[in-house]
Amino acid sequence: MDQNKIPQATAKRLPLYYRFLNNLHHQGKLRVSSKELSEAVKVDSATIRRDFSYFGALGKKGYGYNVEYLLGFFRKTLDQDELTEVAIIGTGNLGTAFLHYNFMKNNNTKIMMAFDANPEKVGKDIGGVPIYHIDELEEKINGVQVAILTVPASVAEGITNRLVDVGISGILNFTPARITVPDSVRVHHIDLAVELQALVYFLKHYPLNTEE
């Protein structure tokens, strides 16, 4: 593939830059400097310039970056014109929250369908997205590349195996289970309980400057 020399840390920041550039564009701004961007997204300006430089010379010295050009560039780089189909597995508290949310706003992803084991949920649709029974997973999921996993941890591994078997490419795993997948599948874990506990740990053990 084209640019796999881009550091992972950089890749993770790209969507952030993209969203902010979109905002600027809507505000009618024509140019932006790494310093302004830095203040807005809270990333050091040298890091931003370095990040951009992996894609070539996108700016002009003494001027900054042209918002429209940069936005267009990132749109291509982030494949914003290509749609990625997503499915939600488990329409409980979290799954339902995602179904109600419009990820499409600045985004090249679309939630196409959801699955659940609870017969009361199956057959309904939430925010225009149909909910199928999990037994129909193999039958319905064609074309979906990414699964958002919001089922109880106890069934995460079993469902993951089925997702792998139907050829899913990526899983965004919100369960506490650390699922095992072959190398052909990419998993990102978002572990909300861990995030909360880590924040608490930092509060208690990493003294911050006190001045209000």
Ligand X SMILES: NC(=O)c1ccc[n+]([C@@H]2O[C@H](COP(=O)([O-])OP(=O)(O)OC[C@H]3O[C@@H](n4cnc5c(N)ncnc54)[C@H](O)[C@@H]3O)[C@@H](O)[C@H]2O)c1
Partner DNA sequence: GATAAGTCGTGATTAAATTCACAATTATAT
Partner DNA sequence: ATATAATTGTGAATTTAATCACGACTTATC
Interface residue with its own copies among 60, 124, 142, 196 (CB under 8 A) is 196
Interface with its own copies, residue 151, by CB under 8 A: no
Q: How far is CA 82 from CA 75, 107, 201, in A?
A: 10, 10, 40
The smaller minimum CB distance to its own copies, of residues 101 and 135, is found at: 101
Query: Structure tokens of 190?
Result: 């978002």
* From 25-33, 45-53, 96-104, 136-144, span contacting its own copies (CB under 8 A): 96-104
Using CB under 6 A as the binding rule, the residues of this chain from 103 to 162 that contact ligand X are 115-118, 134, 150-153, 155, 159
Task: Report the candidate in 196, 197, 165, 159 with the shortest Cα–Cα distance to residue 179.
Answer: 159
**Residue type for 160, please?**
T
Q: Which of ligand X, DNA, its own copies, none interacts with 76 (beta carbon under 5 to 8 A by kind)? A: none
The smaller minimum CB distance to DNA, of residues 46 and 199, is found at: 46
Beta bridge partners of 170: 146, 186
Task: Report the candidate in 121, 106, 124, 130 with the shortest Cα–Cα distance to residue 151.
Answer: 121
Q: Are 23 and 30 in contact (CB under 8 A)?
A: no
Q: How far is CA 165 from CA 136, 152, 168, 184, 186, in A?
A: 14, 20, 8, 11, 14
Q: Are 137 and 162 in contact (CB under 8 A)?
A: yes
Using CB under 7 A as the binding rule, the residues of this chain from 34 to 63 that contact DNA are 34-35, 44-47, 49-50, 52-53, 57-63
Stretch 96-135: interaction string toward DNA, x if CB under 7 A: ----------------------------------------
Interface with its own copies, residue 100, by CB under 8 A: yes
Task: Report the candidate in 117, 53, 110 with the shortest Cα–Cα distance to residue 90.
Answer: 117
Interface with its own copies, residue 27, by CB under 8 A: no
The smaller minimum CB distance to its own copies, of residues 60 and 186, is found at: 186
Q: Which residues of the shown chain bind DNA in the complex (CB under 7 A)?
A: 7-10, 33-35, 44-47, 49-50, 52-53, 57-65
Provide the binding-site residues for ligand X, judged by CB under 6 A: 89-95, 97-98, 101, 115-118, 134, 150-153, 155, 159, 174-176, 192-193
